Chains A and B, each alone.
Chain A
Amino acid sequence: MVFQRYDPVSGFMGSKWVGFENFRRVFSSPVFGRALRNTLIISGLKLLITFPMPIIFSLMINELRNTRFKKTIQTIIYLPNFVSWVIVAGIWYSLLSTEGIVNQILLNLKIIENPVLFMQRKDLFYGIIVFTELWKSLGYNTIFYMAAITTIPVENYEAAMIDGANRWKQALYITLPGISSTIALLFIMQVSGILNAGFDQMWTMSNLAVRDIADILDTAVLRTLTSGSVDDLSIGAALGMFKSVVGLLLFIITNWVFKKCNQESFV
């Protein structure tokens, strides 16, 4: 189908074959360049900020000494992950609206004089995207590291304690190396998914005012479907295919790199 000028009326069998025409049209269209750039920027930001945060947080949770407090904290911070992005978008649109609490507090503290239209501001948009991503997934992602931390033998800590290492040194020289393979694994998965900038999030949180900087590959594909223009379907499919193929290649490459470093693969 990606090699056809797809016509829904005549279907797959009846449509005309056009070779790589669709790909040529995709790569030359301005929407593609914009979507690819936005995808890489957003993924890059998430890799830089939302990737390391769960590691720091798991180390911090690990230092908590009251078990019940620890359990409560964990229960609460996992929660946002289980609600959909539609809900998250609805909640944060409300919190950040002109009558919302964020504006109210900033106004009361005299930090701003007029309510800020947070969701309309292009300069704030990426910040909000990274923040809401953290809000939703930070707690949940600590699960992986917490699981890795529990596999570290207690003797290691005891030995370190006898050698006079304080808690800070224990965290730095025992816990962190102990979870390094988990970190490497998740890092590689994140890198291989660099073309996934968060489809649900971008579709639910973006609006017309920020379309230029919020349109990623996935949302561009979906828009060809919802816009109802028949001519766009093949283009959208070609764009989707491009993303899948590059994603698979990235996965194979990163998996190979991981294998080289670790003597094991994750397939």
Chain B
Amino acid sequence: MKLTRGEKIFQAFNVAILTSFAILCIYPFIYVIALSFNNGMDAMRGGIYLFPRKFTVENYTRLFEDRRLIGSFLISVFRTVVGATLGALVNAMFAYGISKSDLPFRKFFNWMIIIPMYFGGGIIPYFLVCKALGLTNNVLVYVIPWLATPFYIMLLRINIKELPESLEESAYIDGAGYGRIFFRIILPLCLPALATVILLGGIAHWNDWLDGTIMMSNSRLWPMQTLLLHILQGTDMMSFFKERNLSTAGGMIRKIRITPESLKMAMLVITVLPIFMIYPFAQRYFIRGIMIGSIKG
């Protein structure tokens, strides 16, 4: 198909705008990465756009000397891995249950997942419930309230409903119970949907900062995001700067080379890195999940 002159101009214009927007989306990350690998003192002069000028990994080594950062990293990993996989399992069980028309109180369970999608009590009752259950200052608060997610249940239920019923019937005739059917037939056949739920759930877990903020008065139990937020808001920078060996000359020089700004950049990179690493592989699952979700409101 031949393009007219106007269409050619439009194409050039279109490509230019979309390319600039894509650059705008990716560039801030590059900027932060460059700063995080640069000498903090030197970075204050400005002028670092794409690559570090005075390359150093000192910002990172300094961060990883901090016990609290390692602790928060482990907590984030724990809640992401355990929370996402357990959540997917629970959601799949729930979805399998309500996909059966002979389930007692099926209507009730259905409403139990629809109501919280549109109506919630707010965070204060949520906090009080968790407190009454002994979940405050307890890492289980990162896992238990997250186990059942209405959106994922809907997504999995749509998937389970699509499976041919004869498959289950024949397994039933062969003597398999619901449990065996669920683990041996339903779960393996729903793997793509499960992957979507695990990945989306994992991202949500990794990105959550609110639970740490409201449930944990003990900052050792914070996930990375909460710790990062506190550092960014400037309420928590000083603890990173209580150098054990400030009295020595080496400690002083080191403190000068690392600035709060450069530490923040390194921390940002560490926090965003896991997402960057799985994004290329996980992208199609994300989009799949969004599409299925958007069909059903």
Q: Which residues of A contact B (CB under 8 A)?
A: 1, 11-12, 57, 60-61, 63-65, 69, 72-73, 75-80, 82-84, 86-87, 89-95, 97, 99, 101, 104, 135, 138-139, 143-144, 147, 166-168, 185, 200, 204, 207, 221-222, 224-226, 233, 236-237, 239-241, 243-244, 247-248, 251, 266-267
Contacts and interface: CB of A to CB of B under 8 A. Distances in A.
Nearest to A243: B122
Given A65-B11, A75-B283, A240-B121, 14 more contacts: A12-B128, A73-B18, A78-B286, A94-B32, A94-B264, A97-B261, A144-B290, A168-B10, A221-B123, A224-B124, A225-B124, A240-B123, A243-B122, A267-B118
B279 interface: yes
B202 to A, nearest CB: 11
Secondary structure call for the A interface: helix
A63 B10 contact: yes
A204 B208 CA distance: 12
Given A82-B279, A84-B207, A91-B28, A221 B122 contact: yes
A170 to B, nearest CB: 11
B123 A64 contact: no
Q: Which A-B residue pairs are the 7 nearest by beta carbons?
A: A240-B122, A84-B207, A266-B297, A237-B124, A76-B22, A91-B28, A86-B229
Given A79-B25, A248-B118, A99 B43 contact: yes
Interface in B1-32: 4, 6-7, 10-11, 14-15, 17-19, 21-22, 24-26, 28-29, 31-32
Contact of A166 (B7, B120, B203): B7
A221 B95 CA distance: 33
Nearest to A140: B290
Contact of B25 (A139, A236, A237): A139
A72 B18 CA distance: 11
Contacts of B297: 185, 266-267
B283 A78 contact: yes
B291 A244 contact: no
A240 B119 CA distance: 11
Contacts of B98: none
Interface of B: 4, 6-7, 10-11, 14-15, 17-19, 21-22, 24-26, 28-29, 31-32, 35, 43-47, 49, 114, 118-125, 127-128, 132, 203, 206-210, 213-214, 225, 228-229, 232-233, 261, 264-265, 268, 271-272, 275, 279-280, 283, 286-287, 290-291, 294, 296-297
Contacts of A60: 14, 17-18
Contact of B128 (A1, A97, A222): A1
A224 to B, nearest CB: 7
9 contacts: A75-B283, A86-B225, A91-B28, A94-B31, A94-B32, A94-B35, A99-B44, A101-B49, A240-B125
B229 A204 contact: yes
B127 A83 contact: no
